Structure 1
Amino acid sequence: MVLGKVRALAIYFDTLNEHNLPAYSGGDLVSGRVVVEVTGDVRVKSLDITARGVAKVRWTESRNAGANTAYTQNYTEEVEYLHHCDTLIGEDRDADCPEEGLTVLHPGLHEFAFSFNLPQMALATSFEGKHGSVKYWVKAELHRPWLLPVKAKKEFIVFEHIDINTPLLLAPQAGTKEKTLCCWFCASGPISLSAKIERKGYTPGESIQIFAEVENCSSRVVVPKAALYQTQTFYAKGKGKEIQQLVSNLRGDPLPQGKSQSWEGKMLKIPPVSPSILDCPIIKVEYVLMVYVDIPGGLNLSLSLPLVIGTIPLYASASRTSSISSNCSTMSWLGLSDPPEAPPSYSDLAISESHRRDCLRGCDRHDSGGEDPASVLTYITEFRYLPPPLYSEVDPYPAPVEECGSSDVRRPDTCPSR
């Protein structure tokens, strides 16, 4: 028998997202197919798949130990989130050659389905950083007698969902700072900065509305700015390594001495970035909005407003509520302490009770007389602006009654006809 060759070994996932990528969350079912293409009869011992998810941190530091010596310290840490193994072809599945314990694949394409569930736990979101990563993958190995195994590996994405519709992430973030510039014995006036954003949680693609007030009483020309930073923190062997990256920024107008500047909802767009990673013990991904005043020749005056980048966007109702509450709080924050004028009460309307009764009697007369309906429109229009009737347990307009006998007093509709 002429033995064939393995032309291709590939892995395909059944479920793809809108970007044509395999993306899942904790507890989801991951399913797919391992496709083997052979050119002739191929004897196979086993076809195994392994699914793994690992968060790994690694960096190296060099230290001087003396005049001519140095040593290198490696920092490595690993956390495993997923480990699943399965055998798609093996001795227990052998049907063609039980005497040899092998399975023969005939020329053509062969598909073998696989499936497994992700753990019902908080999984770390897939991430690739400078000193560490979080990766999930499926690996297939085709074992043949007396030959090296054929391997294929394909990664899939895992999102640990963060819902920004929680009260904590819908809460506004605000702060105020002031700084006085000094040069030897000469001190200039203070520079003050106040900043506020609508909420703490956002999703990629949204824009952050920044409300800020900057007052420059110093002798220098300053520039208000804002920047969104991503901070990656890696932990290994009790030590941390931090990397900060600029994600997005904006710039205000230069502010001369004695001038002030207000940002009435200046927009800073969030580009496509990785969601926050808060629950992984060895990798953290956090975000902060820095609103600051750039001071030439001095240290900047800055405010740090922490953010959380989530995966579940803001609901429409939550957006409206957040907008209303933000507008109300923004009015007070910007110094508009006077509340809006309340609507007038019914007691303030200059319409007396006697006027009401006249209107009602007028309507009754027109109804009974069968006059032109257009003339009644005057009373209807006037009645439209009248206050509601006063509440009373005693009917102020009792129905008329008539006597039906010397001692009988009944309602008209119950009086017998004579």
Structure 2
Amino acid sequence: MDYIREFDIKLEKEMFYAGECLSGFVILDTIENFKLRAIRVVLRGKAHTEWKVMVSGERRTVKDDQYFIDDRAMIWGKDKADGNVQILPRGLHKFPFRFQLPESNLPYSFESKCGTIRYYIKVTVDIPYASPPQGMKYFTIIGPHIDCMDDIYLKPIMGERRRPRFSLCWDRRRVTLRTKLDRSAYVCGESLRVKADIDNQSDEEARLKLRLVQYVEYYIDRGVLGVSKEVSHTIFEYRGAPVNPHTRSKWDSQQNLVVPTMPPTLIGVCRLIQLYYVLKVSVELEKSGEDLHMHFPITIATVPFRIPNSNQQPVIQYEVACDHAEGGMYIGPEFQLGQVYDGSVENGDAIVLYRPVYASVINQGT
């Protein structure tokens, strides 16, 4: 509208935790007086899944929504029209608003092609006899609350696998892999602590191989028959030095396996999206290929490990997810400015209006 010079939404910060107070203000800069019935603010958080399926030979779109927050407030005017409409004088106006985020575990903000979890403020300026201007401001939720110091994550995890070779010298022909994880939960930026022991009594050269894999499951509820989709991505891969035949080698990850920034584990919090990680450990034999597989569930947390009674505590920073993890390889076209966007990460010329961020540590408390 010609008499509104500026209409904007400002928040006190860009990311929030469950239970915090979200506050900000609506900016209206007008060049003349005009009638204004109300200014309404909506706080909303919801998950959305959507993709195409084949039904009777036709491609159809299926989708589902789940709401976590749906709160409303009026920061100007009256809820019911009584015939008396106030006049907003010209000039710069700031209308404050405030919402209390629920204490319950809120799923984090998330962007992908198949599903999203978005939180936003929507403002509607209700002007009589005119199309109401609307504005939206997206923000990030950091969650759910997963603490690396919980007892369930501090217990070491161990595994052992043996591969006997059919031979007259049975005991001298086998390969044994022993693996130990100091703990099972990590915040992005921390180093994964893994120890491995390979006893290679075979006639082949052997190597230790580790892969951290991200699994994401998307769901759409369609009554009795729902639909689902699963994707997986290798976050990082490590191949150790060769272990010669009839030798034994021990390996300690030390600071070599740093967890990149990516979405935390999400299980049982969102009905439409589940996300989890698995560390796959195996031995790669020169002729026989991979063998002695072990799978360890790894929890990506939001509260880092702290050394008890230490003055050095990890420092949290917030970063976008790495571009090879689900949640980091896609930007919604509505968050692009300046060009048509096809969803590929190679296209870097557009201005990105919004991307969710995730907790990562600067100083590692391992």
Q: 2:158 aligns with which of 174, 177, 186?
A: 174
Indicate if the aligned counterparts of 2:16 and 2:22 stay in contact, CA closer than 8 A: no
Indicate if the aligned counterparts of 1:35 and 1:112 stay in contact, CA closer than 8 A: yes
Partner residue in 1 for 2:328: none
Partner residue in 2 for 1:34: 26
Number of aligned residue pairs: 298
Cα displacement (A) at 1:269: 0.6
Pair 1:53-2:45 in alignment: yes
Structure 2 residue ranges without an equivalent (≥5)? 167-171, 312-366
Q: 2:308 aligns with which of 295, 304, 317?
A: 317
Query: Which has the higher Rg, Structure 1 or Structure 2?
Result: 1
If the length of structure 2 is used for normalisation, what is the TM-score? 0.74
Higher helix share: 1
Pair 1:6-2:9 in alignment: no
* 1:112/1:93 CA distance change after superposition, 3 Å: farther
Q: 2:76 aligns with which of 77, 82, 89?
A: 89
Q: 2:261 aligns with which of 272, 275, 293?
A: 272
Cα displacement (A) at 1:4: 5.4
Task: Give matches, 1:8-407, under 5 Å.
Answer: 8-14=6-12, 16=13, 21-25=14-18, 27-62=19-54, 70-91=57-78, 101-158=84-141, 159-179=143-163, 189-237=173-221, 238-267=226-255, 268-278=257-267, 279-295=269-285, 298-317=289-308
Distance 1:306 1:318 in 2: 29
Indicate if the aligned counterparts of 2:265 and 2:301 stay in contact, CA closer than 8 A: yes
Distance 1:93 1:265 in 2: 65
- 1:105-131 deviations in Å (ceiling 9; x for gaps): 222211111111122322222222342
Tell me the amino acid that sits aligned with residue 4 of structure 2.
Answer: V
Tell me the amino acid that sits aligned with residue 223 of structure 1.
Answer: R
* 1:265/1:192 CA distance change after superposition, 3 Å: same
* 1:314/1:256 CA distance change after superposition, 3 Å: same
Cα displacement (A) at 1:231: 1.3
Distance 1:301 1:49 in 2: 57
Greater RCO (Cα-Cα under 8 Å, separation 6 or more): 2
Cα displacement (A) at 1:84: 0.7
* 1:170/1:319 CA distance change after superposition, 3 Å: farther
Cα displacement (A) at 1:87: 1.5
SS in 1 for 2:128: coil
Runs of 4+ in structure 1 off by over 4 angstroms are none
Tell me the amino acid that sits aligned with residue 198 of structure 2.
Answer: V
- 1:288-312 deviations in Å (ceiling 9; x for gaps): 2122223456344321111111111
SS in 1 for 2:148: coil
Indicate if the aligned counterparts of 1:4 and 1:41 stay in contact, CA closer than 8 A: no
What percent of counterpart residues are identical?
A: 26
Higher strand share: 2
Tell me the amino acid that sits aligned with residue 170 of structure 1.
Answer: L
* 1:141/1:181 CA distance change after superposition, 3 Å: farther
Distance 2:310 2:249 in 1: 28
Tell me the amino acid that sits aligned with residue 289 of structure 2.
Answer: G
Cα displacement (A) at 1:247: 1.8
Structure 1 residue ranges without an equivalent (≥5)? 183-187, 321-418
Tell me the amino acid that sits aligned with residue 95 of structure 2.
Answer: F
* 1:318/1:157 CA distance change after superposition, 3 Å: farther
If the length of structure 1 is used for normalisation, what is the TM-score? 0.65
Indicate if the aligned counterparts of 2:282 and 2:290 stay in contact, CA closer than 8 A: no
